[in-house]
Structure 1
């Protein structure tokens, strides 16, 4: 007999509130869970920008709060501290999955909590003071009260266990995936269209991600500037991503290096343009010092673009031997690696092939399958506990 579908409510707040990895994770996971035969998925949001919620999610919206991020965070943390439960808002749900670093307070309904990183512990200087204070106060409470925790990499899992002092059996590694739309774009007209839209010229080195301290863009800018002084180097550096917190130093560094139109900051790029942007790049550079997973380099590999990335945090786990892994603070190593990649077409072709193969291992279908299995394990454990209390 087929198992009964689990009624799971998934937090889509990051989909509406951010354009960073947290939002991409929640949206892709939720969309693929809708296709699971064992999960009856619904959503909830707390957002002041409901227009950003995908159209497909509204018919399955279980509950919503029309609040901005700060009010929502303060309300949730206060509810945990004074013992208020939100169970009534989730009536009829078997489990709630909180997909960003915020756990709704529930008493009778079990929760799964995704932790993307604990960088607020290891590098508090990379956070705004109010954000750091909130995470410091709230994350230990959330990690303790969640029934199960998903870590997006084994690196993050080990950090959660050691830094938040969570029992190892409570933390489960479930990697993120690559959306099928990320595949090599070969159509010259489409590639030219995207280059023209963003004012790019060939060849270019690409970075995609929010501009914030952990991304280590100062190093990339300095390495690129050193190469620009070499007569045979003619690449453009393209930085695609919105302004994150504490990003002023990046723009100051770019100005001091006098890169002119050799360096282009093109802002946030919509999803429909990303595959062509990745595919048109000759090199993808990702010097991030602390990535909980590292989705953009994986997307670049799926588009057939050779990757140079930092040998730090989760990136060796995700990229493996399919890219060049470099010390995140060694500017000379980055100069030499980018020079080598720019000059050696056979190396680029080899890494492109390895990257395509590596990226195929990470699918959102598998992420949804493993997440669904964890949901069922949590709900069954909840049932056993209730049965033990009320035989």
Structure 2
């Protein structure tokens, strides 16, 4: 038996044994909703025909006084401040955004409820399903009849209070869209570095992470130049950090958009999910779900974004408007362990991008990328 299968069995048994204990302590199932997306029917079709909505959520066990979403242990104290500066930082963080001030490691402590019966209602349509073995719900609802824009889906889970999840419904017809990575593209987090990544994700105050200069402005300019442009954030980060990422994006002026993350637990093929396959699958699904959208793909060269985006652009050049790659600094590459392997301009990643018949720009931050992107992507079309 593969070791990954043993790990899955141990994880499943742990969840199975934990839930009754938590119930005796007064814990109950709670739905954690995530932003989803969908399409609206073309004008030549009847209302409710040809549209879809992808609804995303997770079922977890929570005490009745737990926060609506975010970390399970929201009230655990941070380290004792030892200087006046530390006292001011704790005060400011608490006053401005309690959720964003949580230690990252709390976001990974959860008790999922596997296989819980769930009903999802979107507009005039409803679907009955079950959560998967890790408590996640990822369901498509068709025939909802909703107009373009932001809407809400209602999620009803057995033993839990109903909640609503936000949905971005994309208007029909040809249009531009943006897919952006998060770590080291929108947010400086040094994810390729194993130990520093662990510190950033599990220990460091999420409110102390920094945005990549100019990236929020670039994405906003694209969206303003092309009204109705959906912005989708596709990342190998864990679903658990979505609430803090959402607060981070709002605080730093990033366009609102669904986040497509992943679960870090064991799978059928290994102990951890493949980040490359997660992004490949996510991009292909977006092209299927939103067939009239041409995408601007934004990433960085610290992991595998150039290779993944190059493959997609080479195979579907008619669906990719441009590729924008943030070049990490030499110091970031040293820490990432990629500087000696395939720097931009050499190696299979760059060759794959070069073979794609789409505009490709490279820059150190959002300001440089914006200057190098085709002007039509950043200026309103008359």
- TM-score when normalising by structure 1: 0.32
> Of Structure 1 and Structure 2, which has the larger fraction of its residues in strand?
2
**Which one has the bigger helix percentage?**
1
